[in-house]
Structure 1
Amino acid sequence: MTQRPKRLNKAWQDLREALEGLRTRIVQSEAAQLPLLEQQDPSLPWHPGIRNMLHYLALRSVDLRPLQGALSDAGLSSLGRAESHVLDSVQCTLQILYAALQMPPADFSDATAITREQGQRALTDNTLALLGSPPHQRSTHIMVTLSGDRADDADFFRRLFTAGMNIARINCAHDSPGIWRRLAEQVRTASRDTGQPCRILADLAGHKIRTGPLPDAPGVIHLRPERDRLGRLLEPARMTAMACHQASSSLPSGVDCLLLLVSGSAMPQQGEDLLCHDARGKERVLVVERVENEVITLQATQGCYFTAGNRCQSRRRRHVQGYFAGIPQSVVPLHLEIGDSLLLQSQGGPGGPALNGRPARISCTVPEVIPQLPIGQQVWVDDGKIAAVVLEQTSEGALLRITKTKPGGARLLPDRGLNFPGLALELPALSAKDLDDLGTIIPLADLVGFSFVENAGNMRSMLEALRQRQGEHLGVIAKIETASAFHHLPEILLAALGRQPMGVMIARGDLAVEVGPERLAEVQEEILWLAEAAHLPVIWATQVLEQLTKKGVISRPEFTDAAMGVRAECVMLNKGPYAVEAVHTLNDILTRMQAHQHKKFSQLRALHWGATEEPPDQWPEPPR
């Protein structure tokens, strides 16, 4: 028999000892933690994801990079794709080493190991229970946020289904219960008409901490004709007005303002010129392009600004006179620059700009958080566009100093998000609105999105709220959108595993503000890994194909980001005028990418250099 070199034999012995030590760490960690979990919660059911997640946490508690390099050099598994079957992966590698060292196979009956096949099956079953069956030829679900403006557009819903949507999201932070019901009806109807199943996620608003109101100012209509680079007119600017003799309390949809005609005035006619002075006193001519009932369309070939009270008169028929009214008021934003002070008011009511030595001020939609802000606490506003730090607590609220804006300053408007990175806020798990909304959405939805879940106690409160309302059948999506939720993710998952269908959403918008944009790429990977260890499906969310959805164009980085979403079980698109086109594109990207990637596993399908297209029937079956 050929003798192995002593150096190689020593290297394999070292690997064996290292892996045996790693296995001991994993088994001892499970033995220590599982009884504690059962003691804290006697109802804790046995679930393969619980044991495997405990194994994964033990595996990742040490730096394995040197060991991984040595394993790879020896032609063995580097444990880099062991998330779904941690202990089994270590034990299989050990058995290979025992055989190579001519040692008898080890007896590993002292611990329960989840095999790779069992882990894959558990993830598939949990995904099926939560999200339903994926469509033919695509293993990743597509979720689309619905807009209340489309609640009566049945054709829009059918086109979403045809494009590839199979989960619809209703955002309970917007619209009303009546609109939510109408959206759910449209989804169910389109599902029946197309024969395609679709689940509904109702996303609770949570404690969305936002800026309060600012004073309104008189509304302005700014007309800007389109011109080429030489200033030549390409397209006139247009506005619509309802011509009437009495003011109306509301404007019809699509109408910009009222044209109140003076007593005895006739209606303007198509082709007629209306002479007027705009808000600056500039003489302008508006041409009546079209008249439909009482709604007239006016076009301008010069830029102009109109406010309520600006008068106009026909050039040809002097008795046709009127003035503009009913222009919706607009908010005047706060202008903030680095070094400015901003008072975060503890009382409600409108804010305002700096005046007479007093700082600019704005209120907060959840005022009870303001006294909890310590001196030196960082505050991020409007998805990180503005940064500030707490200087002091006053009788009126928390005084902030602005530390970051874009060059030239930033505009602060109402209803902009406020984040306090690293601060554990003392708020109930579910807001009063959330509890009220649960009664509406339980009959409508298949899934409930738990916004701003922070810890295991929050998750238990959600499960209890569902139980009290006979909503145990709903799947729960834990939205990870704060640094605290990320750090407590294992306990959040353990609080719900096995009790009812559950998944994780990587809510990258707020999460990026909380952990920092540079760290987000790392954090989203860690969430993917831990969820796979627990055999739970993941939703890849926030700003996927955002430009395509909102503007109808796509950037190259968006393609790459969408392609990375294939590692999750579901990818979420936001609402927008081009949502159907975005679903078409995402469906194509995901269908192509599933032949190359499954979780962290790169799949080596046959490559055909120079081929322009590969027929779909040659794509390998995606792993289940």
Structure 2
Amino acid sequence: MTSALADSAHHAAPPEQVALLCRQLEQLTGDVQVEAQARLSRWQPWLKRASYLPSAENLAHYLALRSRDVRDLQSELVTWGVSSLGRCEPYVLPNLRATQAALSALAQAPQWPERTAFAALESRLGVHTRDLFGDAATPGIMVTFPSEAAQNGELVTDLLRAGMTVARINLAHDGPEEWQAMLRHLERARETTGKTCRVLMDLAGPKVRTGEPQWPDDPERLQVGDTLALGTREDTLPGDLPGVTCTLPAALLQVEVGAEVWFDDGKFGTVVETVEGDWLRLKVTHAPLKGAKLKAEKGINFPDTALDLPALTDKDRADVQFVAQHADLVGYSFVQTVGDVAALLDALRAAGAPERLGIVLKIETRLAVQNFTDLMVRAAGERPCGVMIARGDLAVELGFARLAEIQEEVLWLAEAAHLPVIWATQVLEGLVKKGQRERGEFTDAAGGVRAECIMLNKGPYVVDGVRELSAIIGRMRPHFDKKRPQFRALSVAQSAGE
């Protein structure tokens, strides 16, 4: 609704104001339905699970609604005591129709809202969450198993007792023998504690990491303005510059002059000055005050470069055979296009994976964000599906300031698609890694209660991290249902009068 229309409604008599709002809302609802139907037609070949069709329809309605600026209409609706549409993610069309019905009642032409439609759609998120994570209370707690979990069964039991509901095994590390040992320890822990726990196996994907660094002199730190060589092989690096190789040489062939290259989860950044055949000359543009250490096995991000790399590597295809037999969920790293999703679906089918085995889409690149809605529908159209917000990679790919916005949009869109979300990367990192409690990290963890699962990484104090996270969830979950505040009795208000 434009400002001009809002002004005309404001100066008209009350019945005329309501009638004008009704017409505007009716027009908006019709436009949303038409646009949603066009999108659904494109998605139709992907929707092989009839049970997901209502959710795909709701997502299509939400995308159509959010493609418009309806702020003036929202403001006007609030003044009449009807829905502002601000919490319509789980049930877009019923919300629009119920608002129309409320306005019609005000205009003395009653139409009762379809109240059952709200519950029918809102329940879909719960169904899909149980499909993926079982009957555990939400948010669940996912824990990345360290290699130690293959030898130390007590660690696994302690994690389960502390509150772990999903065990994550990163297939980029260790091997089938160690993975089997971890699973045996988890099964014993389940029997000992009587608790349930799902297993997510994370495919490695095309990992772009540093090799062993080379220094012309004694090891030192990189400062802003320094030059660094990034090469495809050690024998291509110049001997007079600090240098390091890239574990995925094909990535370097796609990078152009002027593109940014970031290292170690964004700890320091560079820009490509020249392309020297098999190596890139980089200038350091961002680094800590004390300088940046160049280490092996650290991630490399190319936020300005749309890397044309298959998400499913040869190693992943081999690992899918193990996943199909032992996992409840498979984490899909570096997924960027619907073709990537189709490749994994084909691989799971070929491996004889049961239909209940779910897919977790790890959203970690700029292209994955752009294709996000299609990725969800393509995967959820065939299998149980969830979304992981890989905030570490996204922060580097999109910028830290943009991440705050994007993680909210991912939460909203996933809710409209009725798919569960995993809140990941550096949750309670100081506590898990160093045993240090930091205020900012606890606030961040509290924000994770809007997701259906929160992930902790491995570290010496991970059991303490699970206990603390479980306590945070217990305190914060009653206050929020997704982004809707819940009016639980406030402990602060109670103590204030004492």
TM-score w.r.t. length of structure 1: 0.74
Is 1:570 matched with 2:453?
Answer: yes
What is the DSSP-based 3-state SS (H/G/I as helix, E as strand, rest coil) of the residue aligned with 1:66?
helix
Shift of 1:334: 5.8
Write 1 or 2 for the structure with the bigger share of helix: 2
After superposition, the Cα gap between the structure-2 partners of 1:442 and 1:41, relative to the gap in structure 1 and judged at 3 Å, is: closer
Query: Retained in 2: the 8 A contact 1:213–1:351?
Result: no
Could you tell me which residue of structure 1 aligns to residue 372 of structure 2?
489
Could you tell me which residue of structure 2 aligns to residue 117 of structure 1?
119
After superposition, the Cα gap between the structure-2 partners of 1:544 and 1:212, relative to the gap in structure 1 and judged at 3 Å, is: same
Q: 1:90 aligns with which of 82, 93, 96?
A: 96
Could you tell me which residue of structure 2 aligns to residue 407 of structure 1?
289
> Where do residues 285-364 of structure 1 align in structure 2 (5 Å cutoff)?
333=219, 335-348=221-234, 355=240, 359-364=241-246
Could you tell me which residue of structure 1 aligns to residue 211 of structure 2?
212
Give me the whole-angstrom Cα distance separating, in 1, the residues matched to 2:109 and 2:101. Answer: 9
> Where do residues 146-185 of structure 1 align in structure 2 (5 Å cutoff)?
146-185=145-184
Give me the whole-angstrom Cα distance separating, in 2, the residues matched to 1:107 and 1:164. Answer: 41
What is the DSSP-based 3-state SS (H/G/I as helix, E as strand, rest coil) of the residue aligned with 2:407?
helix
Q: Which amino acid counterpart does residue 600 of structure 1 have in structure 2?
A: K
Shift of 1:24: 1.4
Q: 2:72 aligns with which of 63, 66, 73?
A: 66
Q: Which amino acid counterpart does residue 456 of structure 2 have in structure 1?
A: L
Moved over 4 A (4+): 40-46, 331-334, 348-352, 608-612
Query: Retained in 2: the 8 A contact 1:349–1:363?
Result: no
Q: 2:109 aligns with which of 97, 103, 120?
A: 103
Give me the whole-angstrom Cα distance separating, in 1, the residues matched to 2:436 and 2:16. Answer: 59
Shift of 1:467: 0.6
Shift of 1:66: 2.2
Could you tell me which residue of structure 2 aligns to residue 51 of structure 1?
57
Q: Which amino acid counterpart does residue 607 of structure 1 have in structure 2?
A: L
Is 1:365 matched with 2:371?
Answer: no
Q: 1:393 aligns with which of 262, 275, 278?
A: 275
Query: Retained in 2: the 8 A contact 1:85–1:114?
Result: no
Give me the whole-angstrom Cα distance separating, in 2, the residues matched to 1:551 and 1:514. Answer: 27
Query: Retained in 1: the 8 A contact 2:47–2:377?
Result: no
Query: Retained in 1: the 8 A contact 2:75–2:84?
Result: yes
- Deviates further, 76-85 or 42-51: 42-51
Is 1:19 matched with 2:50?
Answer: no
Deviations 1:467-503 (A, max 9, x none): 1111243211000111111111011011112311110
Could you tell me which residue of structure 2 aligns to residue 261 of structure 1?
none
Identity, % of aligned positions = 43
Q: Which runs of 5+ in 2 are unaligned?
A: 1-9
Could you tell me which residue of structure 2 aligns to residue 538 of structure 1?
421
Shift of 1:518: 0.7
Deviations 1:372-396 (A, max 9, x none): 1122211111111221112222222
What is the DSSP-based 3-state SS (H/G/I as helix, E as strand, rest coil) of the residue aligned with 2:326?
coil
Shift of 1:332: 6.8
Could you tell me which residue of structure 1 aligns to residue 476 of structure 2?
593
Query: Retained in 2: the 8 A contact 1:544–1:562?
Result: yes
Query: Retained in 2: the 8 A contact 1:463–1:472?
Result: no
Please report the RMSD computed on the Cα atoms of aligned residues, expressed in angstroms. 2.5
Is 1:425 matched with 2:307?
Answer: yes
Shift of 1:41: 4.8
What is the DSSP-based 3-state SS (H/G/I as helix, E as strand, rest coil) of the residue aligned with 1:506?
strand
Could you tell me which residue of structure 1 aligns to residue 350 of structure 2?
468
Q: Which amino acid counterpart does residue 494 of structure 1 have in structure 2?
A: V
Give me the whole-angstrom Cα distance separating, in 2, the residues matched to 1:508 and 1:54. Answer: 25
What is the DSSP-based 3-state SS (H/G/I as helix, E as strand, rest coil) of the residue aligned with 1:47?
helix
**Larger Cα Rg: Structure 1 or Structure 2?**
1
Q: 1:524 aligns with which of 407, 413, 416?
A: 407
Give me the whole-angstrom Cα distance separating, in 1, the residues matched to 2:212 and 2:275. Answer: 21
Deviations 1:154-200 (A, max 9, x none): 22222111111111111112222211111111111101121111111
Give me the whole-angstrom Cα distance separating, in 2, the residues matched to 1:589 and 1:42. Answer: 38
Query: Retained in 2: the 8 A contact 1:371–1:397?
Result: no
Residues matched between the structures, number: 485
Give me the whole-angstrom Cα distance separating, in 2, the residues matched to 1:349 and 1:572. Answer: 40
Give me the whole-angstrom Cα distance separating, in 1, the residues matched to 2:148 and 2:390. Answer: 24
Shift of 1:96: 0.6
Could you tell me which residue of structure 2 aligns to residue 307 of structure 1?
none
Could you tell me which residue of structure 2 aligns to residue 556 of structure 1?
439
After superposition, the Cα gap between the structure-2 partners of 1:348 and 1:180, relative to the gap in structure 1 and judged at 3 Å, is: farther
Query: Retained in 2: the 8 A contact 1:215–1:332?
Result: no
Q: Which amino acid counterpart does residue 125 of structure 2 have in structure 1?
A: L
Q: Which amino acid counterpart does residue 414 of structure 1 have in structure 2?
A: A
Shift of 1:31: 2.3
Shift of 1:599: 0.2
Shift of 1:104: 5.3
Give me the whole-angstrom Cα distance separating, in 2, the residues matched to 1:204 and 1:558. Answer: 27
Give me the whole-angstrom Cα distance separating, in 2, the residues matched to 1:459 and 1:530. Answer: 18
Could you tell me which residue of structure 2 aligns to residue 242 of structure 1?
none
Give me the whole-angstrom Cα distance separating, in 2, the residues matched to 1:472 and 1:25. Answer: 40
Could you tell me which residue of structure 1 aligns to residue 86 of structure 2?
80
Is 1:376 matched with 2:258?
Answer: yes
After superposition, the Cα gap between the structure-2 partners of 1:42 and 1:120, relative to the gap in structure 1 and judged at 3 Å, is: closer
Give me the whole-angstrom Cα distance separating, in 2, the residues matched to 1:531 and 1:150. Answer: 32
Could you tell me which residue of structure 2 aligns to residue 127 of structure 1?
129
Is 1:192 matched with 2:74?
Answer: no
Could you tell me which residue of structure 2 aligns to residue 203 of structure 1?
202
Query: Retained in 2: the 8 A contact 1:47–1:497?
Result: no
What is the DSSP-based 3-state SS (H/G/I as helix, E as strand, rest coil) of the residue aligned with 1:57?
helix
Shift of 1:348: 4.8
Query: Retained in 2: the 8 A contact 1:439–1:469?
Result: yes
Q: 2:339 aligns with which of 457, 464, 473?
A: 457
Could you tell me which residue of structure 2 aligns to residue 292 of structure 1?
none
Deviations 1:94-151 (A, max 9, x none): 111011112353999xxxx9932112211111111111111xxx43211111111232
What is the DSSP-based 3-state SS (H/G/I as helix, E as strand, rest coil) of the residue aligned with 2:389?
strand
Q: 1:440 aligns with which of 322, 325, 333?
A: 322
Give me the whole-angstrom Cα distance separating, in 2, the residues matched to 1:398 and 1:114. Answer: 60
What is the DSSP-based 3-state SS (H/G/I as helix, E as strand, rest coil) of the residue aligned with 1:412?
coil
Give me the whole-angstrom Cα distance separating, in 1, the residues matched to 2:428 and 2:444. Answer: 8
Give me the whole-angstrom Cα distance separating, in 1, the residues matched to 2:306 and 2:230. Answer: 18
Query: Retained in 1: the 8 A contact 2:214–2:243?
Result: no
Shift of 1:44: 7.2
What is the DSSP-based 3-state SS (H/G/I as helix, E as strand, rest coil) of the residue aligned with 1:170?
strand
Query: Retained in 2: the 8 A contact 1:388–1:403?
Result: yes
After superposition, the Cα gap between the structure-2 partners of 1:482 and 1:5, relative to the gap in structure 1 and judged at 3 Å, is: closer
What is the DSSP-based 3-state SS (H/G/I as helix, E as strand, rest coil) of the residue aligned with 1:144?
strand
